[in-house]
Amino acid sequence: MALKLLSHNVVYLKNVHWYRSQYTLKNLQKCLTADSIQVLFKSKHFLILNKPYDLILYDYHKTFRTEKTFFELIKEKFPYYFDPRLKGGFHVLHRLDSVTSGCICIPLNYFSQRIGFEAFKHGNADKYYIALVYGHLKLEKTNSDGMYEINIPIGEDLRRLKYARCTPFDIDGNKIVHCLQPEKAISQIKVLDHGTYKSKDCSKILIKPITGRRHQIRVHLNYLGHPIVGDTCYGIDDFDSYRTMLHSYRLNLKINTKKRLYIKAKAPDPFIPEVDPDWIPKYVVNPLNI
């Protein structure tokens, strides 16, 4: 089985339908080294990196364990930032699901952790994701930026507790009785392109989460009836793609200290035909111009 490196953090396994088997996942991770971690921004306070997909940040529960973790790769690349007093060895400002790639910000000391947390707490952090979803998504009632807002609470799914989440009602208003302790969750969405992925109708979209609930983007898109391509948790037995098509595309931070600091980082778009030829965009709805 040949592994083909297409670009930073992208490995495409031809003719592999059960991609997330333990065997193929280990082969994928053998391609990942400290040198394959792309640095998007670096200062004395923050390090923003392009996280590969299908890679956990650190070994949370010592259960799902593959060859490497993201923090182990960071330790190899930047050993002088490793702090053994911290769980995982590094400060955590925000998280990405293991299946999600793209921008992640690592504070480099306790002061950086505090000022970064304040930026997120006071709405001075903007995160933008891009995704491929099934179906040609059409949104109405958008705002001046062309974004459609979803304001739907998210809670734990009693049927798959600690593994999946859900909304307290479906898009038709029917109550979902197995939704526990729903919390406020808001996402904004813009459709970028309509096209096909492996001959199935798909849309490329931009998402800006306003709140930060676990699995928020994946649950909201599933609520709309347009699950993310390759999302085996919320899709229907979707093992036909090489990854979950969700990518943290851009991160903007405004840090209020004595000297105001603006941080902007962008992770290269992996959902283009030059990287993945199975994605064929056919119609541009809105340009990606953030």
Tokens linked to 120? 């997120």
97 a catalytic residue: yes
Of 213, 201, 247, the C-alpha closest to 54 is 247
**What is each CA distance from 232 to 164, 221, 242, in whole angstroms?**
11, 14, 11
To which residue do tokens 């000297």 refer? 259
Cα–Cα distance between 25 and 27 in angstroms, integer? Answer: 5
Cα–Cα distance between 279 and 12 in angstroms, integer? Answer: 13
Strand pairing report for 179-183 and 101-107: unpaired
The count of residues in the chain is: 290
Cα–Cα distance between 88 and 70 in angstroms, integer? Answer: 10
Cα–Cα distance between 184 and 220 in angstroms, integer? Answer: 12
Strand pairing report for 38-42 and 46-51: antiparallel
To which residue do tokens 């490793």 refer? 82
CB of 226 within 8 A of CB of 209? no
Collapsing DSSP states into helix, strand and coil, what is residue 158? Answer: helix
Of the residues 59, 83, 97, 201, which is catalytic?
A: 97
Residue 74 dihedral angles phi and psi, to the nearest 5°: -65, -40
Of 104, 129, 141, the C-alpha closest to 269 is 129
Catalytic positions, written as ranges: 97
